[in-house]
Every structure is written in structure tokens, then in C-alpha cells.
Chain A
């Protein structure tokens, strides 16, 4: 089954404690992306990757890091989480620069709370 998986699905942590949210896709997609969703703001892109070892900042990259060592994985790293990073996070993937009709496949979301 074609899917994007994220782990963990729920996480409560404390300020300053490094954490990683994993994302994996099994569709051989070149493009992967992280979004955060906050009430009233919709989804905003954090980072994206066009292919292995190619990453770039989205609209709200501050406080986050990513890496793309393998095509299928795109982890999101919070080196020193702060309460303003409490949010719902989505990983997504699609083919790169494909016809516009290629939809992005979303993971199930990770609800992060930083106290």
C-alpha cells in the first residue's frame, strides 16, 4: 500500500529536549516536505527536499532541521524545542516537477506539545 508514515503520532516533551520526528514514504517520490498546522493559519511549509541530499527552507524554517540521506526518509529535527513549536506536523511526498496533477500524499500527522 502506497503510504507516508510518521512517528511518533503524539509527543509531549519539555523545552530544550532534542527530538526527531521520522517520515518515510514507499512510493519512490523525489519530493518530500514538512508542514506545520496551527489554528487559523492553515498549513505552512517548514522545509522541503527535491531529492537525496537536496533540502531547502520553506516559509517557517526557524528552529527546525532536516536531512535527506535516503530517498524514502526525511526526518524533522528540533534541536531545542520551544513552546511555540507546539503544533500538528505533516510530512508529504510527491513526484518532483511532474505535471501539476500529481497530488501530494500526506502522512497521518504528528501532534507535538512542548511544555
Chain B
């Protein structure tokens, strides 16, 4: 079974609108971390936001927030006020306790139109 599932291969949003990128995960560990990375067309991997499994509040970083629903095992990324520069591939990833390995989803391509 996949550990990280991103069900949206592509998403379209208009500039200045909010968008939610879905991510569900599978783990039996109690301690884990969830990450979102952005990959623009230039190819580099840019860290966006982190959520720990014991964090009680949803993580936020500027226009990015992580909607963490532990019981549903979901960690959706919310981008508020989309900008043209947000057009990129977005990856959700998980790191389980005691392991340094990141397991990635297959990604969601986000296109922001004017």
C-alpha cells in the first residue's frame, strides 16, 4: 500500500484564489512528520511547510497552511491568495520516527492562471 497518496494529478486555480492540495498518508507509528515540497519548472525541491504528528495546531508559513486531520490521516496543503509563481509541482512527504528517509507522494501539478 502506498504510504503517501496524492489523488490530484493536476489542479487549476485563478490568481488570488485559495487552493487545497490533498494528501493522505498511511502509518502505524505514533510519531512522524509530514512535509510539503514545491518543485518549479527549474527542477529544485523547495521545502514549504512541516507538521509533526504531536503538533496540536496546524502549521502555517506565510500563505501556506497545512490542514492536519490526524484521525483521517490527511495533511492537505492550503495556499491562500494564489500567485502566478505558485505554478509548480507539489509533493507531500512523510518521515516516520527513527527513520531519516522521506517517502514521497507522486505529486500534484498546480497551474495558476491570470
A84 at the interface (CB under 8 A from B): no
Interchain CA distance A96-B91 in the complex, whole Å: 22
Report B36-68 CB contacts with A as 1/0, cut-off 8 Å: 010000011101001011000000000000000
A96-B104 CB under 8 A given contacts A90-B45, A103-B50, A109-B43: no
Report A47-62 CB contacts with B as 1/0, cut-off 8 Å: 0101000000010000
Chain B residue nearest to A30 in the complex (CB) = B100
Quick one: which of A42, A45, A58 contacts B107, CB cutoff 8 A? Answer: A42
Query: Hey, which chain A residues are within 8 Å of B106, CB to CB?
Result: 40-42
Min CB gap A103→B, angstroms: 5
Q: Which of B11-19, B27-35, B75-83 forms contacts with chain A?
A: B27-35
Q: How large is the interface on A (under 10, 10 to 19, 20 to 34, 35 or more residues)?
A: 20 to 34
Quick one: which of B47, B53, B91, B105 contacts A100, CB cutoff 8 A? Answer: B53
Min CB gap B89→A, angstroms: 9
Interface centre among A48, A94, A104, by most B CB within 10 Å?
Answer: A104
Interchain CA distance A103-B51 in the complex, whole Å: 11
List which A29-43 residues lie within 8 A (CB) of chain B: 31, 33, 35, 40-43
Query: Hey, which chain B residues are within 8 Å of A100, CB to CB?
Result: 31-33, 50, 52-53, 95, 97
A111-B43 CB under 8 A given contacts A42-B107, A103-B50: yes
Interchain CA distance A105-B4 in the complex, whole Å: 20
Asked whether, in the complex, the Cβ of A50 is within 8 Å of the Cβ of B100, the reply is: yes
Chain A residue nearest to B32 in the complex (CB) = A100
Asked whether, in the complex, the Cβ of A106 is within 8 Å of the Cβ of B33, the reply is: no
A sample of 12 inter-chain contacts (CB < 8 A) reads A33-B100, A33-B101, A40-B106, A42-B91, A43-B93, A48-B101, A50-B100, A100-B50, A100-B95, A106-B45, A108-B44, A111-B43
Residues of A within 8 A of B (CB): 31, 33, 35, 40-45, 48, 50, 58, 88, 90, 92, 94-101, 103-106, 108-109, 111
